[in-house]
Amino acid sequence: MSREYTHKEEVTRLSDLKAYTPKLFGIPTGVEGLDELFYKIEIVDGKPIKKSLGGYPYLGIINITGIADTGKSLMAEQFAVKQASMGYRVLFVTVETPREFLVQSLQSRASAMAISLDKVEDNLFIIDAASRTKLREDPDALLDTMAYAIKEYDIKSVVIDSITGLYEAKEVMARSIVRKFYNFLKKWHQTGLLVSQKRSASEELTAEAAGGYGVAHIVDGTIVLYKKLVMSKYDMNLFNIPIGSVVRLMRIDGCRVTGHDTRTYVFEITDTGLVKILSPLEDFIKGRGK
Ligand SMILES: Nc1ncnc2c1ncn2[C@@H]1O[C@H](COP(=O)(O)OP(=O)(O)O)[C@@H](O)[C@H]1O
Ligand SMILES: [Mg+2]
């Protein structure tokens, strides 16, 4: 009897699920040029039309990965500042930078984005797992603290910089820890941005080797950042920039909750310290390579 009941519960008709399905819309990223790279398909006059989502997919868990100094933290901070400036409360879990320095960094990001600090400071909440060993090393302690913050302060999105910092000394735990945080963020209806450090430069623009193998399979989408040092005549001619320059590249390496641009993009880190998407690599090379 109870067994039959269980089977019935486990099978659902699509139309019955509709009421529980989150709406698909974008959460502005705070990164110029990035919001437009996510899109959805709508039917207009009987034809499927691509429509810009205007940001990260709502309630999506996005992984930003790349080797050191590629702009991951800048993107995480730009997102936090942008959301806070729009009046949405953000929880920033800092795992590498103690909170005093994170605050400094968030201040710089806000200034560069021409957003005054008093517009955002009441909407930004910080958990300092960089300074607090217990929080960094015990995922359940951290999750309990995050649950408290989300309930107490009506948090809408969560940034973790970095998720890899939570399993530094226990690589074999990577997948189970990431899974735990993923399920937690889903349960609490959060849009999430996870930063993960890519240790190997091989397969540069793929999510492979990001944050210990397997992180990319768990999250909803991955953005890969990469920097290339121009050190050969070939690259000099290809990119038409001086030897020793850095070309910064970005790709959305899969996003299962929404459509997205699949091209490789050139981006810059502005002299005020903001990630800004410039143009598809193919256009960049065409435009410069004359
Ligand atoms: N205000 C700034 N002006 C210019 N460059 C900056 C500024 N702030 C950060 N950067 C540069 O941006 C790069 C990426 O920084 P960051 O996002 O911290 O990297 P990641 O988190 O990927 O290691 C660094 O090389 C850093 O030197
Ligand atoms: Mg960083």
Ligand 1 near 71 CB (within 6 A): yes
How many Å apart are CA 29 and CA 22, to the nearest integer? Answer: 19
- Domain for residue 12, yes or no? no
- Domain for residue 259, yes or no? yes
- Domain for residue 18, yes or no? no
In this structure, the residue with its CA closest to atom 16 of ligand 1 is 71
- How many Cβ atoms sit within 10 Å of the Cβ of residue 254? 18
Q: Which atom of ligand 1 is nearest to the CA of 225?
A: 22
pLDDT at 26: 96
Ligand 1 near 254 CB (within 6 A): no
Domain containing residue 171:
23-288
- Domain for residue 14, yes or no? no
- Domain for residue 260, yes or no? yes
Ligand 1 near 69 CB (within 6 A): yes
- Domain for residue 265, yes or no? yes
User: The CATH number of the domain where 253 resides is what?
Assistant: 3.40.50.300
How would you write the pLDDT of the chain (290 residues) with one tens digit per residue?
Answer: 455 667 888 888 888 888 777 788 999 999 999 999 999 988 899 998 999 999 999 999 999 999 999 999 999 999 999 999 999 999 999 999 999 999 999 999 999 999 998 889 999 999 999 999 999 999 999 999 999 999 999 999 999 999 999 998 787 888 899 999 999 999 999 999 999 988 766 666 666 655 555 678 899 999 999 999 999 999 998 888 899 999 999 999 988 889 999 999 999 999 999 999 999 999 988 876 44
Q: Spell out the long-range contacts of 228-237 with Cβ–Cβ below 8 A and sequence spacing 24 or more.
A: 228/204, 237/289
Question: How many independent structural domains does the chain possess?
Answer: 1
- Domain for residue 6, yes or no? no
Cβ–Cβ < 8 Å for 99, 130: yes
- Domain for residue 102, yes or no? yes
Facing residues of 160 across strands?
93, 194
- Residue type, position 161, single letter: D
